[in-house]
Chains A and B, each alone.
Chain A
């Protein structure tokens, strides 16, 4: 049973455009929502994370938007650059849990 549904599976954006990746969850006990970025041949690395007490978190060109009532959260990459080309994973973790549940990933390609 997939607990975090991520879309799209792949995304192609032109340089300077906005990349948007969406995730949805069912478990209302989730209280921590990170996004991980993975470059080819590397392990995933934390990009940005949010807790449900805020609706938005911004770090540079990366923004998480969180909609608690809809049980959805999304990653927005502004002014997308070729160097942003990577696979992005959303994840969620329940209160008091050590386990992260990952989405299936989105392969982002930013064309020059």
Chain B
């Protein structure tokens, strides 16, 4: 969905490096989410945010941190990347009383 953008789209990094994945949205939604997708495991929630001042841990937050810089921007950081954090990462948004979550195109992260 072009309304939700993620950068970078692909990233290869080394163990121990700090890395930031960024998400921006033009939908005007207040809720933003970070998910991780692994083959055969589906999508698992890492963090979610209701607004700039409200950050919540998801199912698998260990090893990750987030920052909500503005209503439209939500970043995911890996402070010290490890190989088992190799995965597809998706940002999603939702707003108001609408149930739908709108996903970005994903970032493929490889940690060597």
Contact = CB atoms under 8 A, between A and B. Distances in A.
Interface of A: 6, 9, 32, 34, 36, 41-46, 49, 89, 93, 98-100, 102-105
B41 interface: yes
Contacts of A102: 42-44
Contacts of B68: none
Contacts of B43: 44, 89, 100, 102
A98 B95 CA distance: 11
A108 to B, nearest CB: 15
B90 interface: yes
Interface in B40-89: 40-45, 48, 50, 56, 58-59
A32 B99 CA distance: 9
Interface of B: 1, 4, 31, 40-45, 48, 50, 56, 58-59, 90, 92, 94, 99-106
Nearest to A103: B42
Contacts of A6: 42
| Contact residues of B: prevailing secondary structure | strand
Given A98-B50, A99-B58, A46 B44 contact: no
B106 A43 contact: yes
A67 B105 CA distance: 33
A102 B100 CA distance: 14
A43 B41 contact: no
A88 B63 CA distance: 28
Nearest to B39: A105
A98 to B, nearest CB: 6
A43 B42 contact: no
A34 B99 CA distance: 9
